[in-house]
Structure formats: structure tokens, C-alpha cells
Amino acid sequence: MSNRVVCREASHAGSWYTASGPQLNAQLEGWLSQVQSTKRPARAIIAPRRIFILGPSHHVPLSRCALSSVDIYRTPLYDLRIDQKIYGELWKTGMFERMSLQTDEDEHSIEMHLPYTAKAMESHKDEFTIIPVLVGALSESKEQEFGKLFSKYLADPSNLFVVSSDFCHWGQRFRYSYYDESQGEIYRSIEHLDKMGMSIIEQLDPVSFSNYLKKYHNTICGRHPIGVLLNAITELQKNGMNMSFSFLNYAQSSQCRNWQDSSVSYAAGALTVH
């Protein structure tokens, strides 16, 4: 057997974000310094040892979830190691496909979280691993199955889960133009639609979230990773675990006012275990 280390390059660096480590570091420090802390100063913290990153598949049809075939994910800051022990446990379930290096490097949904992950964990950079998971177009029953599988990892306080998703992709180029005139301008209608979905996610109800998607077809690209997370939470709540989820920020790339416009919405939220 070969001991050669296989790396996934930071394939979107230089186009989606800067490939310069010092420049990226300065940008991240600037953005993170503007964040309003939601918690008081802590006397003690638990730093995660393993970070699961669930991202939707944009380029390949996938009816299950897929794991990477590499050992290292490169970033302009430093390299991130995949947790081969956890990968081994996941492979044994028979529930996962293997993504090719080409698929891995074509996909942006996981990569876009790596610079933030690297920056946030830089003081622990030799002490943590990542578990990237590409999530396919799962049926509701598959979301339940994967939610149940990941629930035991979510219950472990040494694990952190990052779910990659944008919210509404509106406009002709996205083939989505839902508009509720009663909300006023188009961008107001988009915000109302997104916040309806965000409110359902905060209720931690996977069935209501599925029903919302069936009714409005909102183009939330990470709807399946979100569905997996909600099902994992539901599984833990059955066992008496008390959790809450709240959205912290919402933004749109631009304000749509006519049918020629387009925009993508972004929302960030956090799950808290009580």
C-alpha cells in the first residue's frame, strides 16, 4: 500500500477569494473583528477536536452523501487534515460514496468554509481534524437516516458541525422568481420568504422545513445538509438533549426591484446545547 499523501488544492483561491495567505489572513482578521459577540467572556471553553463540514453538491448528481478521497485539504493559510479514523467509521456503514479528486476540487461549498475554519482554529492548528461530507439530493427518508447517523457525533462536545448553505437564489438566471406583491419591493418578498424558512429552522422541525420547501421551492442550496442537521437534532431531542438554534445575521447580495435583477441571500446561525 502507498503511503503517499493526497492533497486537495484550494481550487477556488485566486478567483472566489484571494490565494495570498497574508492577504487572506488580514481580510479574515478584519471581518472577524467586526463580529458582535453573542456571549459574555468565558471562564473556560471547549475547543473542538473534530470539525464536520457538510456541503451541498452543485456539480454532480448524488443521491447519497460522499466522502473525500484525499488526506489533506489545502488552504492559503495552512493545510487541514482529514480525520481518517472518523472516515473509517463512516465508510463501514456502507452509506457513503467516494468523490473523485475532480469532483472534490470542482465543488466550492465545503472549500468556502475552510479559510474561516483555519483562521478560527489557528491557535489549535495541530490539534484538530476535519470531516468533509458532500451531501447529495437526499430524499426525506435519507435525510432521516443520515441525521440519525450523525446524531452521535453531534452529541459529542468535542465535535463541531458546519453546514454550508446560501439562501434564496432569485432571478431569471436561477430560474426562480417567486414574488409576493403584498410584501412590497421584490427584495422585501425575498427576505420575507427566507425569514419564513429561517423561522422554521429555528423551530428545529425537519418535517415543517420539508413542507416549506415543497410549497415555495425556495432555492436554498444547502437544504439537504440543513435537513440532515435538523434530523440529527430531532434524534438527540428524543433522548432528552435540550438545544436551540438562532439566526444571527441575514444579507442579500443586491436588492432586486425588477424582473431583470438577481440576487443571492445569505444567513448565518448557531446551534446551542443547553
Q: One digit per residue, pLDDT tens: the chain, 274 residues? A: 457 899 999 999 999 999 999 999 999 999 989 887 766 665 666 678 999 999 999 988 899 999 999 999 999 999 999 999 999 999 999 999 999 999 999 999 999 999 999 999 999 999 999 999 999 999 999 999 999 999 999 999 999 999 999 999 999 999 999 999 999 999 999 999 999 999 999 999 999 999 999 999 999 999 999 999 999 999 999 999 999 999 999 999 999 999 999 999 999 999 999 8
Cα 231 to chain centroid, rounded:
15
Same domain, 212 and 265: yes
Confidence (pLDDT) at 46: 67
Last residue of a domain, one of 106, 132, 163: 163
For the domain that residue 226 is a member of, what is the CATH number?
A: 3.40.830.10
Cα 12 to chain centroid, rounded:
17
Last residue of a domain, one of 138, 163, 188: 163
Segment holding 214, helix H or strand E: helix 206-216
Candidates 8, 7, 221; CA nearest to 105 is 8
Instruction: Give me the DSSP letters along 174-186.
Output: GTB----GGGSSH
Last residue of a domain, one of 145, 163, 181: 163
Number of Cβ within 10 Å of residue 199's Cβ equals: 12
Q: Which residues span the domain enclosing 97?
A: 43-163
Residue 143: inside a domain: yes
Domains held by the chain: number: 2
Same domain, 198 and 157: no
Same domain, 97 and 207: no
Residue 136: inside a domain: yes
Number of Cβ within 10 Å of residue 177's Cβ equals: 12
Confidence (pLDDT) at 37: 73
